[in-house]
């Protein structure tokens, strides 16, 4: 009888602690690490990992995989890259508790038309995940934009007291079901009219729970400092931990301003539990918008329901071929998404 199910020999092991890598063997039994180093004994399978590395699974802290976890539980796009945990519900966009409401952009990034993948509560969403478990771990945030769409008839104004009360109830339900916190996305139209006071009141149930807030700030261009300050003040008012989502400065006029944003963050960290996540590249991706296109050096169309053949094409080249202005072409492609090359490598 084998001592181990699998023995991986001659691997370079990065254990995540920051310590120097080890060159040794790892043995697994019943899906768990049974030994590191001296892995003497019989193994059902031996694998020579010379030239290869072993590391703990990566945590993808900023995803919009809310629906993908249900639609493709194998999650091969993530597992193939070593990701074993995803955080969903970022940028104010969460699949629950949207229910049957219209998935206005950017909620169409996570919500499809399948009624079986629409949820009125986080408890229902988590139940669906438990019924068909994905191949990796998931932590979820409840999105402020989703809360607005679920409770408000008009999104072009701040929420009133009744709507805030309804959103607070949904936040409490999400936390009770197992959400790790909330996210905001005031950059996007459905939440752009929300004031800092509205957000602070809606997220009041986070206070004292150990939950966090992830903030896609209102502007990452000319008003980036003002927008960071607004988001950090909300978190400070609530006394909660905070992540500034995909920290960046966009637009040629703002190249080099990461010196200012990082200085602001360093100052805030002296008194607050705030951090950031960021891209390792100089492009970003979201829904296709004219204002975002104007700030970018180039724009690559990622997808378009109206013109699927536009995917993978440069926006300016498509506009020239169609003999349309860029804004007119953007309207013609909707709904659509894009990759914006709008950052400076030195800021990244």
**Residue 299 pLDDT exceeds 70:** yes
- Cα–Cα distance list, 29 to 50, 186, 190 (Å): 21, 47, 49
DSSP label at 4?
A: B
The per-residue pLDDT for 1 is: 66
CB-based contacts of 181, cutoff 8 Å, min separation 6: 141, 142, 206, 211, 212, 213, 214, 240, 241
Question: What domains can you pick out in the chain, each with its CATH number?
Answer: 6-54 (no CATH), 58-276 (3.20.20.140), 284-341 (3.30.1490.130)
The full length of the chain comes to 348
CA 130 to centroid of chain Cα atoms: 21
C-alpha to C-alpha distance for 281 and 289, rounded to whole angstroms: 20
Q: How far is it, in rounded angstroms, from Cα 330 to Cα 315? A: 8
Whether this prediction's pTM lies above 0.85 is answered by yes
Count other C-beta atoms under 10 Å from residue 160's C-beta.
11
**According to DSSP H, which parts of the chain are helical?**
68-71, 76-79, 122-131, 144-151, 161-177, 189-192, 196-202, 224-238, 258-269, 290-295, 315-322, 326-333
The reported pLDDT for the residue numbered 230 is 99
Residue 256 has a pLDDT of: 97
Segment 78-99, tens digit of pLDDT: 999 999 999 999 999 999 999 9
pLDDT, tens only, 177-194: 999 999 999 999 999 999
Taking all residues of the chain, what is their mean pLDDT, rounded to a whole number? 96
Specify which residues 85 forms β-bridges with.
Answer: 59, 137
């Amino acid at each position: 009888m084998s001592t181990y199910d699998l023995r991986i020999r001659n691997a370079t092991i990065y254990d995540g602690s920051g310590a120097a890598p080890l060159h040794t063997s790892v043995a697994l039994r019943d899906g768990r690490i049974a030994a590191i180093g001296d892995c003497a004994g019989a193994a059902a399978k031996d694998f020579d990992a010379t030239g290869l590395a072993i590391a703990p699974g990566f945590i993808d802290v900023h995803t919009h995989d809310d629906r993908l976890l249900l639609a493709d539980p194998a999650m091969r796009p993530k597992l193939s890259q070593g990701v074993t945990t995803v955080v969903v519900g970022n940028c104010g966009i969460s699949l629950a508790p949207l229910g049957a409401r219209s998935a206005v952009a950017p909620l169409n990034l996570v919500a499809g038309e399948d009624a079986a993948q629409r949820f009125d509560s986080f408890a229902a969403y988590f139940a669906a995940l438990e019924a068909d478990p994905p191949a990796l771990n998931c932590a979820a945030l409840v999105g402020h934009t989703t809360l607005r769409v679920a409770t408000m008839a008009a999104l072009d104004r701040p929420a009133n007291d009744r709507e805030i009360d309804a959103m607070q109830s949904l936040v409490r339900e999400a936390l009770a079901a197992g959400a790790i916190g909330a996210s905001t996305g005031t950059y996007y139209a459905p939440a752009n009219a929300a004031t800092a006071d509205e957000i602070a009141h809606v997220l009041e149930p986070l206070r004292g729970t150990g939950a966090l807030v992830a903030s896609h700030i209102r502007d990452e261009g000319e008003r980036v400092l003002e927008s960071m300050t607004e988001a950090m003040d909300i978190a400070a008012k609530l006394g909660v931990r905070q992540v500034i989502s995909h920290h960046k400065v966009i637009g040629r006029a703002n190249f080099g301003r990461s010196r200012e944003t990082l200085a602001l963050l360093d100052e805030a960290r002296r008194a607050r539990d705030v951090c950031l996540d960021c891209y390792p590249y100089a492009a970003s991706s979201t829904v296709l918008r004219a204002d975002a296109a104007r700030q970018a050096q180039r724009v690559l169309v990622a997808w378009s329901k109206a013109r699927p053949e536009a995917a993978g094409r440069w926006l300016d080249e498509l506009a020239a071929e169609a003999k349309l202005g860029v804004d007119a072409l953007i309207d013609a492609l909707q709904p659509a998404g894009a990759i914006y090359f709008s950052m400076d490598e030195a800021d990244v």
